[in-house]
Amino acid sequence: MKPPKRHGWNTPVTAVGPQGGAMLRSIKGITSDPLTYLESTWADFGDVVQFPIPKPATYLITSPEGAREVLINQHNETSKRTLQYNNLSLVTGEGLLTADTQAWRPRRRMLQPAFHKEMIALSEHHIAAGLAKLDNQWVELTSVGPAIIDIDHAMMSLALEITCGALFGIEVDDDVDEITSATLIALHGVVARARNPISLPLAIPTPANLKMKRAIKRLDKAVDAILISRALNQLPDQAPIRDMLDVLLDPDLETPLTKQQIRDEIVTFIVAGHETVASALTWAWHLLVTNPDEMQKLKRDPTRAQLVFDESLRLYPPAWVITRRTLSDLTVDEVLIPANSLVIVSPWLVHRNPKAWDNPNAFIPDRFLAGSPQLGYIPFGAGARLCIGKEMARLEGSQILAHIAANWNIEAIHTSPVPIDASVTLRPASGMPVRISRLLN
C-alpha cells in the first residue's frame, strides 16, 4: 500500500514510516520501552523514517552518514529548539547544553579553556580522591565478607564528587545523595513531560510539577552552596584561573555573566557532567560481569580500560537520542527533510548499524584497538556541539574501571536481563545490584 502524501495539517510525506493507526496502537510501547520501538521502526522502514506526526514533521535518522550530515555538515541549518531541549531547559535554563546557536557560540568560546589538557589532567587528582574514598567505604562494607551493593548508586556518587571537585573545587561529601537524587527527580520530570503531550506549564501546581519544582529548588540550593564555598575561598587578585567556576565568575570577562547565567551553567555542568558518566560506568560493569572473559582480561591488563569504556559507550550510549530542528530544507540520505522538522538521531541505533559495525550487538572492546571510527560512533555527539566534557569523561571512565577492576571482584547477582529505563540517560530500571569482594594481591 502506498503511504499517504500528507500527514494532516498539510505536512508532506517525504520518507517511509509507520501509519498513524499503527503508531497510535504502539503508544504504550513507545512510552514504556522506547528503545525497542525505535529498533523495530528501524527494522521495518530503514535508515530514514518519517513518523506520522503532523507538527512538527518528525524523522528518525539511523545511518552513520545521515548522523554526520545532521550533526556536522548541516550543523548551521539546525537548531536545538526541540521538545527534548526545551523541557531540559526547565531544569538547566539557558546553559551551554540547551542554549541555541546565538547564545551558545560565545559561551562555548568562553568555557572551552576550562577543558584544556592541563585542566583535564587536574581532574586526575579528584578521580584518585574519589576512588580512595570509595575503597574505604567498600573495605568497611566487606569487612566480614562479600557485600551486595547497587553499583549504579556507587557510580552516581563517585561521578558527582569528581565533577564537583574538578569543576567547582568543592567537596560535596554529605550532600551527595541530596544532589544525585534531585538530579534524577528533575530529569525524570523532564522525560515525563516530553512523553506526555498534554503536560501543563510548570507554574501550574500539579503533583508532578510540584515534585519537579522541589527538585529544581534542591539543585538551586546546591548552586548556592558552591558559590558560598568559592566566596569563602577567594584567591588573591591575579591568581591563575583554577577551574571552571573561576571562568564563570571572572569579573574581567568582556560581558561578565549574570547571576542567572552562572546558576544555569553550574546546574548544566552538575547534570551533564555526572549522570552521563555514571550511566556509562554502570553499563560497563553490567557488560563486564556478563562477559567474564573480558573482566579477566581487564584485571590482567588494566590499560584495557579505555577500550572497555569506549565499547560500553557504543552499546549503551547514555545520550541515546540527540534532537535537532531543521532551519531550512535539508537532504539526508537522499531524503528531503523540510524546514522546521524535528530530526531524531539515535546513537543507540547508529551504534548498532551494520553499515558501520561488524557483529554490532556483541561486546568486543578490541574493536577500538585502532581508535574510534570516523563514522558511526557518536556517544558524545559530533561537530560543533560535540560534548565539551568528552576527554574528561573518557579519562574518568577508564581510570575508574581500571582501578576498581584491579582491586575488587565484581560479580553479577542477576541472571535475567537488566531492564533499561530510557530516561534522559540510560538507567537500570531498578538499580544494578552486584556482589563485591576485596581482591587480595
Place of cell 569528581: 162
Residue from 49, 91, 97, 295 that binds ligand HEM (CB under 6 A)? 97
Residue from 319, 401, 422, 436 that binds ligand HEM (CB under 6 A)? 319
Based on the shown chain and the rule CB under 6 A, indicate whether residue 393 belongs to the binding site for ligand HEM. Answer: yes
Peptide bond into 56 cis (omega under 30): yes
Tell me the number of residues near ligand HEM by CB under 6 A: 24
Based on the shown chain and the rule CB under 6 A, indicate whether residue 211 belongs to the binding site for ligand HEM. Answer: no
Q: Which segments within 275-397 are labelled E, that is strand?
A: 322-326, 330-332, 335-337, 342-345
| Backbone torsions φ then ψ of 428, nearest 5 degrees | -70, 135
Query: Which residue has the CB atom at the shortest distance from ligand HEM?
Result: 389
Binding residues among 320-349 for ligand HEM as defined by CB under 6 A: 322
Q: What is the largest CA-CA distance in the chain?
A: 73
Binding mask 57-96 for ligand HEM (x = CB under 6 A): ---------------------------------------x
Q: Rank residues 25 and 116 by Cβ distance to ligand HEM and give the closer one.
A: 116
Output the CA angle 177-34-12, nearest 5 degrees. Answer: 130
Separation in Å, CA 362 to CA 112, 146, 172, 232, 290: 35, 30, 38, 51, 12
What DSSP string describes 139-203?
Answer: HHHTTTS-EEEEHHHHHHHHHHHHHHHHHH----GGGHHHHHHHHHHHHHHHHHHHH-TTPPPTT
Binding residues among 140-169 for ligand HEM as defined by CB under 6 A: 163
Question: Which residue type, as a one-letter code, is found at position 179?
Answer: I
Based on the shown chain and the rule CB under 6 A, indicate whether residue 273 belongs to the binding site for ligand HEM. Answer: yes
Binding residues among 343-382 for ligand HEM as defined by CB under 6 A: 379-381
Pairing of strands 408-412, 342-345: unpaired
Q: Rank residues 81 and 438 by Cβ distance to ligand HEM and give the closer one.
A: 81
CB of 344 to ligand HEM, least distance (A): 11
Based on the shown chain and the rule CB under 6 A, indicate whether residue 119 belongs to the binding site for ligand HEM. Answer: no
Based on the shown chain and the rule CB under 6 A, indicate whether residue 245 belongs to the binding site for ligand HEM. Answer: no
Based on the shown chain and the rule CB under 6 A, indicate whether residue 276 belongs to the binding site for ligand HEM. Answer: yes
Task: Give the residue from 206, 197, 179 showing the smallest Cα distance to 91.
Answer: 179
Q: Which residues bind ligand HEM (CB under 6 A)?
A: 96-97, 104, 108, 163, 268-269, 272-273, 276-277, 280, 318-319, 322, 379-381, 385, 387-389, 392-393
